[in-house]
Amino acid sequence: MPELGYTELTNLGEKEFGLIGLGVMGQNLARNFQNHGYSVVVYNRTEQKTREFVARHTEISAAYNLKEFMGSIGQPRKVLLMVTAGSAVDATINSLGDLLARGDVLMDGGNSHFQDTERRCIDLEKRGVNYLGMGVSGGEEGALKGPCIMVGGPREGYDQVSEMLNKIAAKVDGPCCQYLGPRGAGHYVKMVHNGIEYAIIQIIAEAYDILTRASGIKIKQVQGIFSKWNRAELNSFLMEIAAEVLAKYDSETKLPLISLVLDRAQQKGTGKWTSQSALDLGIPTPTIDAAVQARNLSALKDERISAAKVFKHPTKLRSLRGSLVQSLRRAVRASIIVSYAQGFHLLRAASMEYGYGIPFAEVARIWKGGCIIRAKLLDSITRAFRTDESLSNLMTDSRLARELMSSEKSWRGTVKAAKEAAVPVPALNASLDYYDGYRSERLPANLIQALRDRIGAHGYERIDRPGHFHTNWSA
């Protein structure tokens, strides 16, 4: 059945688009579609939330049961789910049941695990329903003003909704919306996006920690440093909001609000999923892994308080303040490059393993707008993949490689200074180790292989002849 256009609806009561789930993201996406000229009907399991929303936004229609909701949308229906990832998505799909018809497009805009999306795509395909896993990044502001949209699923389903998705998306060198491949491709890319986000946030947090704890620089000065960095090569949304956060003062105490925030970070799981998938595919993502583990360590607040009473802490490195700021800037930049390199390396492996055919240059391009990890650096990454789509690792791009090599001295000096001050820098350190390991022609894995053979007769390969060998090492 051909797609019904905006002016082709014969029943003026029919809506062009339906949205289920009125959390903050769902509400703002509904408003975004409405603001771009699409008639929208919404439904939420909690009736009161629906009534409160449409009372504030009278131009948007509401339904109070799923039959009424589905009946009010012009066919083939286009429905976006914005419910909590996991069992709630399956429950909503089951509740829709026979209300779904062949040719309908059902989109999941939550942070669903890509394997759940794979399963749902296959199940709904049997019923003729086009199920799209749609990664949406940008937070509540992006949802309203223009998010980055990463879509996977049947191509024919995407073609039915591509015009409206492109209209509501952020715009940087075109709409920041892209079809990325079949089944779970969109949610996989969104998962890796979030893994990179974890890494960059941890890197920025470590820079803040070095400047304040290791160097004794006041928060107001750190805010100025971050603002300056954001006006140059470290320009990014995350650096921008880091400076914004550091500038906020508590109205009661008149202290920087950040100094009153508990140092115990939470997580929703997408960073962990990235690390788990990387382990499954045999792709090293140590900076992302370090960021996940750093949050886990931060959660042990009571234990850390007890340990701090046992272990004496070194003095601050005030004498290194001037030189450290410049070195730290380079170390942060290099570590962020490495974070993107790990993420795209994982995307390449997943694209091959799952048959996604992910267009890496387009991923980099759409990440330039709307999404949380948007950054000036993505211009260089987009160029790198447009120059060589088969690029195995971003670090080997000639321009990025030169930048990493020129940052080495500062990078090492920063990590060394942090170690001397006993300030943990898991992400900066993991990034440097990854860089050193990836460019090492020879690693000590020869001893690992020999020990494995000694322990369990697993065998080993030799550098001077082909084949698989075993040695009785104890004889």
Widest Cα–Cα separation across the chain: 87
Distances (CA, A) of 229 to 232, 353, 387: 5, 38, 28
Residue 11, pLDDT score: 34
For 210, residues 6+ apart whose C-beta sits below 8 A from its C-beta are 324, 328, 414, 417, 418, 421, 423, 425
Alpha-carbon torsion (372, 374, 377, 380), positive or negative: positive
pLDDT per residue as tens, the chain (475 positions): 333 332 233 333 589 999 999 999 999 999 999 999 999 999 999 999 999 999 999 999 999 999 999 999 999 999 999 999 999 999 999 999 999 999 999 999 999 999 999 999 999 999 999 999 999 999 999 999 999 999 999 999 999 999 999 999 999 999 999 999 999 999 999 999 999 999 999 999 999 999 998 888 999 999 999 999 999 999 999 999 999 999 999 999 999 999 999 999 988 788 999 999 999 999 999 999 999 999 999 999 999 999 999 998 776 655 445 678 999 999 999 999 999 999 999 999 999 999 999 999 999 999 999 999 999 999 999 999 999 999 999 999 999 999 999 999 999 999 999 998 899 999 999 999 999 999 999 999 999 999 999 999 999 999 999 999 999 999 8
pLDDT at 215: 85
CA distances from 316 to 246, 260, 285, 326 (A): 21, 21, 31, 18
Check residue 319 and give its pLDDT. 47
> Which pTM does this prediction carry?
0.93
Query: CA–CA separation, 42 vs 34, rounded Å?
Result: 11
Q: Which residue has the tokens 């974070």?
A: 339
pLDDT at 223: 97
Task: Output the pLDDT for position 227.
Answer: 98
Query: Structure tokens of 439?
Result: 């460019």
The span from the CA of 380 to the CA of 181, in Å, is 24
Catalytic residues: 190, 197
Backbone angles phi, psi at 129, to 5 degrees: -95, 130
pLDDT at site 1: 31
SS3 state at 133: strand
For residue 397, the SS3 value is coil
Spell 328-338 as b/e; 16+ CB within 10 A means b.
bbbbbbbbbbb
User: Cα–Cα distance between 42 and 61 in angstroms, integer?
Assistant: 6
- Residue ranges of domains in the chain, CATH in brackets: 17-183 (3.40.50.720), 191-438 (1.10.1040.10), 445-475 (1.20.5.320)
What pLDDT is stored for residue 13 in this prediction?
59
How many Å apart are CA 216 and CA 345, to the nearest integer? 37
Query: Is the preceding omega at residue 182 within 30 degrees of 0, hence cis?
Result: no
| Cα–chain center distance at 381 | 16
> What is residue 316's predicted lDDT score, i.e. its pLDDT?
62
